[in-house]
């Protein structure tokens, strides 16, 4: 007579999370994701962000973008190693991360530097600006191809293209490390998390390729 094993606590958690997310579409994320930028902008206008609201707005938009990039990078490991299925939210999270970075850049361009010649000079001469701008440029093709038509058109190349998000994420964390004055732990934590997620992906890919031989 065959015996069945009852699901463990983690299996029940996984099933509960998957059952809940199955009922929740991805589109509300776009609405929720629009709230922090609006709050940041209003807080800046109303003097709630300290003596230098422009810098505070830049920082908060940049930090939110890093959080979103890390959240997007967590989705595949969560499915592979924990069985939690959140893949349908990855596109929304990725696009929100891109628009947060775009907002971060626009605040720097329009409200902070303002002078076109100075903008170009900063990109060329200031390494942390160069690194951050390079990360933004990497994300442009990813945002433009985050749609079903591009997936069909690019085929297997789509997945390879979107692996560039890891390089962009590392550059984003490096931008933060180079930007802050003195030693601060926070940007190094972001860098460590991104590198750990990349290591997880590489270890899974190595095992998968060996099984395929």
pLDDT in tens, 141-174: 999 999 999 999 999 999 999 999 999 999 999 9
If you average pLDDT over residues 40-54, what whole number do you get? Answer: 92
**pTM above threshold 0.85:** yes
pLDDT at 45 over 50: yes
* First-last CA distance in the chain: 37
Three-state SS letters, 6-69: CCCHHHHHHHHHHHHHHCCCCCHHHHHHCHHHHHHHHHHHCCCCCCCHHHHHHHHHHHHHHHHH
pLDDT at 79 over 50: yes
pLDDT at 120 over 70: yes
* Whole-number pLDDT of residue 204: 62
Host domain of residue 32: 23-208
Residue 50 included in any domain: yes
Residue 10 included in any domain: no
């Amino acid at each position: 007579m065959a015996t069945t094993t009852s699901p463990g606590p983690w299996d029940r958690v996984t099933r509960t999370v998957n059952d809940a997310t199955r009922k929740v579409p991805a589109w509300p994320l776009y609405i929720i994701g629009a709230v922090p930028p609006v709050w940041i902008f209003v807080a800046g206008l109303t003097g709630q962000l300290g003596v230098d609201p422009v810098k505070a707005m830049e920082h908060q938009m940049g930090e939110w973008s890093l959080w979103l990039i890390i959240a997007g990078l967590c989705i595949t490991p969560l499915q592979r190693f924990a069985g939690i299925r959140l893949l349908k939210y990855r596109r929304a999270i990725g696009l929100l991360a891109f628009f947060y970075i775009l907002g971060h850049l626009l605040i720097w361009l329009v409200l902070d530097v303002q002078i076109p010649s100075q903008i170009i000079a900063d990109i060329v001469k200031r390494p942390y600006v160069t690194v951050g701008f390079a990360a933004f440029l990497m994300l442009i093709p990813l945002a433009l191809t985050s749609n079903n038509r591009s997936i069909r058109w690019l085929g297997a190349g789509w997945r390879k293209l979107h692996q560039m998000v890891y390089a962009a994420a590392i550059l984003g964390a490096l931008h933060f490390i180079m930007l802050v004055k003195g030693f601060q732990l926070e940007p190094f934590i972001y860098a460590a998390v991104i590198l750990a997620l990349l290591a997880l992906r590489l270890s899974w890919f190595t095992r998968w390729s060996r099984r395929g031989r």
